[in-house]
């Protein structure tokens, strides 16, 4: 649907271009279109979740296996205990909130509009 001025915003033009190409791609090869959508929605998502988890675990390992023993030579022990406890708190929180966000479907929770007054 064209606006009255006859000009489309850049976002609308991009959306129409993508829709046009997706319709063309879908009509040429429906099986390939289905496989591509399945790959991007499911397989790539799982792979990226595993990649993120491996990065977080790598940082956790580096900090507690390499950095903390090195810092123990120069920093007071009470500071290392406080920072270590904070790190042990942040590690599961990061993983928990990442997986909770990745499992939440788009648009939920539903927004409730309330009239004031």
Neighbours of 52 (CB within 10 A): 15
Kindly state the tokens that stand for 29: 């090869």
pLDDT, residue 30, reads 66
All residues at 6 or more sequence positions from 95 whose CB lies less than 8 Å from its CB, including other chains: 53, 56
pLDDT at 62: 92
Structure token digits, residue 50? 């595993």
Q: How far is CA 101 from CA 27, 50, 61, 111, in A?
A: 34, 15, 24, 17
**Closest-CA residue to 20 (of 28, 92, 69, 43):** 28
Each of the 117 residues of the chain gets a pLDDT tens digit; together they read 555 555 667 667 767 777 776 777 666 666 666 676 777 777 888 888 899 999 999 999 999 899 989 989 999 999 999 999 999 999 999 999 988 888 887 777 666 667 665
Per-residue pLDDT at 86: 93
What's residue 3's pLDDT?
52
Task: Give the pLDDT score at 25.
Answer: 65
pLDDT of residue 93: 94
pLDDT for 75:
92
Q: Which residues contact 102 (CB under 8 A, 6 or more apart)?
A: 45, 49
Dig out the tokens for 6 from the structure.
Answer: 């006859």
In the chain, where are the structural domains located? 10-103
- Residue 97 CA: distances (Å) to CA of 46, 61, 88, 105: 16, 20, 15, 14
pLDDT of amino acid 39: 75
Q: How many C-beta atoms lie closer than 10 Å to residue 56's C-beta?
A: 15
């Amino acid at each position: 649907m064209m606006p009255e001025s006859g000009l489309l915003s850049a976002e609308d033009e991009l959306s129409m271009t993508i829709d046009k190409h997706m319709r063309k791609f879908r009509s040429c090869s429906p099986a390939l279109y289905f496989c591509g959508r399945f790959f991007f929605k499911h397989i790539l998502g799982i792979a990226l979740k595993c990649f993120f988890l491996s990065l977080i675990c790598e940082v956790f390992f580096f900090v507690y296996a390499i950095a903390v023993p090195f810092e123990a030579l120069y920093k007071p022990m009470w500071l290392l205990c406080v920072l270590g406890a904070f790190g042990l708190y942040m590690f599961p929180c990061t993983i928990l909130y990442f997986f909770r966000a990745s499992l939440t479907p788009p648009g939920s929770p539903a927004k409730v509009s309330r009239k004031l007054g």
